[in-house]
Structure 1
Amino acid sequence: MRTTPARAALRGRHRTPVVFGPTAAVGFLHELVGHALEGDNFAMTSDYVTALRKPGAVPELLTLHDDATLADGYGSYAIDDEGVEGRTTVLVANGEIGSPLTSVRAAQRHGYTPTGNGRRRDYRELPLPRASNTVVPPGTEDPAALAEASREGLLHVGCLGAGMINLATGEFSFAALNCTYLTPDGHRVPVRDVSLFGDALDTLRRAEAVGSDFGGDSITCGKQGQMIGIGLFSPSMRYSALDWSAA
């Protein structure tokens, strides 16, 4: 098949505005912020977690909840795996860091408020501080307006794939799926083999708009070899610039 100039130009490394669709947006924040706010990770004195805890590290437009009480949420439960009642925990409120997620052990060890987030794969494993359903409430921006291209173009991400964040440094790399590049003149070009990468703190500061739409999804999330189910719920979100590459 003949390769068009537009497709060929997308190969390699780029920095453009990026819009995450519903659920992809919260999946990204779950990785960059949610894991850092698990009680055992939050107690670390790494450069990234320490910097994340400082005022102003997260922009005011970001609010993030963990909610075990959602009806039909994949990660919902009445009580966690230690018998503690499930509840809603504010992780970030208008840019201000809230309570870390805790198991009984993490709460007692570090003096945190119990949140009912002690979860494990099965009875043979140790309960760990884990998310239930990660939620970003809808904003006020028109989703169509978020997707307007700039002079650098724009990448739309439909789904976040596998990857990782280094909680010591804040460096991350994630696969992005169902991606479309919007050229400066308005043409839409499907993009394959996309990787998002960069520094989490710098990336968070580039969050610039939260859409008024909303969507949900169910995924499995791993930690210390334990895979559990969690729910992801959010509107679309736009970042002014992210680094990405395409093969």
Structure 2
Amino acid sequence: MMELVQVTKVYEQGRRTVQAVRGVSLRIGTGEFVSIMGPSGSGKSTLLHLLGGLDVPTTGQAIFQGDDLQAMSDRQRTMIRRHRIGFVFQFFNLLPTLTAIENVALPLLLAGEKRRVAHERARASIDRIGMLRRADHLPDELSGGEMQRIAIARALVTDPEAILCDEPTGNLDSANSKAILELLRTLPEPGKRSVVMVTHDPNSAHYADRLITIRDGLLDSDISTNRVPAKATAAIA
């Protein structure tokens, strides 16, 4: 479970003060697939960063599984992100000198896992998303859709309690976008894993079971999309 309680986020930009978030409260249940939608500059990415402990509120609380992220040290938040949250970004963030399997294994190696075990788990994660045939390729040998699938495998490799996606289809064509969204639909697990996706695209947003709309740093709406919650299905071939 993730929760924001009356959070604000203020940034100082030179002599300007920017209120990115202005008193938002929301709760993400375990096993939910939630999309956060809004125009550029609405505060949606800031909310995602607060949920994932990449940033802390100026005021209010950001809670992950009952723990106040703001009350933690930087190291404690780093450990939460490393072990319990997976991140998927618009531009993939794969290291160009590492193969796909090495990129996926990296979070485990950073956490102190033995290389053999890390690579076994990375291979299983890549197999889950249907990309085992590309495991030994470098990122520049992969298409955009393939790179994003590898990024999703990396987010999954630690078996996290939450996966947070920031515009995961923003750098893809329509066919690859649909494939990635269908893959994301398989990732929530009741009682175990939630998925939160930030997007500006209404079509992408409606792949989630719940749609939160942000405007000018404020919660504008929070509705069910009336979709049947995702069930684990075969990964993308």
If the TM-score is normalised by the length of the shorter chain, which range does it land in? under 0.3
Structure having the higher helix fraction is 2
Structure having the higher strand fraction is 1
Q: Rg larger in 1 or in 2?
A: 1
> Structure 2-normalised TM-score?
0.27
